[in-house]
Amino acid sequence: MQPLPHFDVVMNTGSGRTEAQARRACVERVLREGGRAVQVRLVRHPRELSAQITGAIASARESGGAVVAAGGDGTINAVVQQVLGTGLPFGALPQGTFNFFGRSQGLSEHIETAARDLLDAELRDVPVGLVNERVFLINASIGLYRRLLQDREAFKRRLGRSRLVALWAGLNTLLRPHPRLELHLRDAEGERREQVLSFGAGINRLQLEQLGLPEAEAVERGQLLGFTLRPQDRLALLRVALRGLTGQWQNDARAHAFVFEQLLVQPTRGRRSVRVACDGEVARMRPPLCFRVSETRLPLLVPARRAEAGA
């Protein structure tokens, strides 16, 4: 592909303004040394994010450049939500706690290396999951797993962003009582009702493989992997969590995984809205929830070495 003349970067300030300024200076230096124009838009508050993304898209269209997200999986998700379907190249500088999306695509978590990789990047069309019209790049979930993610973010705001904090937040959530969900599921295999603590759909092979799910390779074929957690007591929940942490989830009878292309999920109790977590960001949606792979793929900028390996 021809070198892109301009990069419009939407950067989440994340852990602090001073660190964000240092990251901004690094990205600007690397890209300008590579002979490219760059504009970095710092997002200091969540309410600014949508407007900054809109500005970045308009600028990239005018310059013939790319939109780049710098932040964690939630920030990357928010930018992709608006970029998908525009035809613009998209880049990511992963700066979060887990960085499942970036790691699965071979993107460096070191910001200088990731920025340098943009200079000679190649495009790869990446599948994107949808629940109704909301994008997810890792997973979308309701029930217990959604609460785990929501509680994790609350703990991070108070105690800082680290994997240890995320683990402690998860333990705290699992030890509380949890309501059951009664769901009506409909896919190509037929209709069924299930009583569960949680339902989720995953599209990120790296995360699914880390859970120990052999069906994870289905996402490379343009499918999604559904997973449910059956009702159980708190001690059993801790055992399931331990199996997930050690990559042995497939060995637990209380956790069920299945492959699908499109799935309708309807709570049986007539809820007007349902809280859904998409890559850790929670929003209310009106059921039924339709989980599927987007017909439009994301034109992602990946390091040339990664593009050659996946060709």
Shared-domain flag, residues 107 and 18: yes
For 74-91, the pLDDT digits (tens) are 999 999 999 999 999 999
Give strand pairing partners of 143.
198
Give strand pairing partners of 164.
none
- pTM for the model: 0.86
147 has pLDDT over 70:
no
The model's confidence at residue 159, banded by pLDDT at 50, 70 and 90, is very low
Rg (C-alpha) for the chain, rounded Å, is 20
Mean pLDDT of 209-238: 82
Q: What 8-state DSSP symbol labels residue 222?
A: T
272 has pLDDT over 90:
no
Measured distance CA(266)–CA(110) in Å, rounded:
42
CA-to-CA dists, residue 141 to 94, 207, 290, angstroms: 22, 14, 12
Residue 239 region by backbone torsions, left for phi larger than 0, else alpha for psi between -120 and 50, else beta: alpha
Residue for token pair 């052999």: 214
Q: In this structure, are residues 249 and 211 in contact, taking their beta carbons and an 8 Å threshold?
A: yes
169: in domain: yes
For the record, the structure tokens of 48 come out as 């600014």
**Count of the separate structural domains present in the chain:** 2
Interacting residues of 214 by C-beta distance below 8 A, sequence separation 6+: 250
Mean pLDDT of 240-256: 62
Shared-domain flag, residues 140 and 288: yes
For 9-35, the pLDDT digits (tens) are 999 987 567 889 999 999 999 999 999
Shared-domain flag, residues 162 and 55: no
Mean pLDDT of 117-133: 97
For 95-106, the pLDDT digits (tens) are 988 899 999 999
Range of the domain at 36: 6-126+297-303
